[in-house]
Amino acid sequence: MSIESDNAKENVKDIVDKCIKCGMCNSLCPVLKIVREEQSSPRGKAILLDSNYFEKLIYECSLCKACESKCPLNLKLCEAFVNARKVLVLSKKECVEGKEMIKNLNKSGNIYGEIESD
């Protein structure tokens, strides 16, 4: 583990520790509306991160910040999820689509890997 990922982990922990599990964030989450399972809700993800569960499930978030607008403690959950993704990338656990995207960017300068034709 690098120092960078440790820092990101600490940042996540700082935010998630304060969660009081009231579940208000769930009321607006667009992902939960479709998936309808607790583990993909903001509260569920916060609980999972709190128990050191850094897996691909964290990618099930649109980072729209609707949960932050409802949080009574004004916790920056989306920031925690972004940092959790950082930890995943640094530990080479990121999702396949992400990997491909980075490859394409390096190759052609855009995420689709298409070369511009003049």
Partner 1 sequence: MNKREMVCYNTDASRLRGKTEKVVFPKNIEEVQKAVKTNKGDIIVRGSGTGIVGGCIPNDSVVIDLGKMNKVSNFNTKSNKIRVEAGITINELNDKLNGAGYEFPIFYLEGGLSRIGSMIALNILGERSLRYGGIKEWIEEVEFVNGRGELMTLGKADLGDVCGMEGITGIIVAIVLKVIPKVRRSYSIFQSEDINEIFSISRRLKLENEIIMLKLIPPMVSDFLNLPHKYNLIIEFDSERGKIKGSEYSRLNKLLRDVYFLFYEKGYSNSEDPKFFYDKVQEFIALLEHNNIPYFCDLGLSIVFPFFKDDEDSKREGVINFIEKSRAKPGKYGIGLNRKYLFDSFQEKIVRRVKMRYDPFNKFKRNHIIDFDGRVENPLPAHNVGEKKTTSLPLVSKVKEQISEKINESKSNDLKMTGEEKSVRSLLEELRTPDEKMEELIKEEKKREEGVPLSEEIGGMTNADLDQSVVSEEIKEVNNVEKKIIEIDEGVSKFEKYGISVEPRRVEKESISNEGISSDKSELVGDADDKSLVNGDLEDSETTEIGNVRVSDNLDRKSGNGASSEVNDIMSKIYGGSSNNVSSNVPNGSKGFNRDDISNEDKDKKESVKEKDKKEDKDRDLINKILGNRMEGEK
Give me the residues that bind partner 1 (CB under 8 A), please: 20-24, 26-28, 36-39, 41, 43-45, 47-48, 51, 53, 55, 57, 70, 72-74
CB of residue 24 vs partner 1: minimum separation in angstroms?
Answer: 5
Kindly tell me which of 47 and 101 has the beta carbon lying closer to partner 1: 47
Kindly tell me which of 14 and 38 has the beta carbon lying closer to partner 1: 38
CA distance 63 to 27: 15
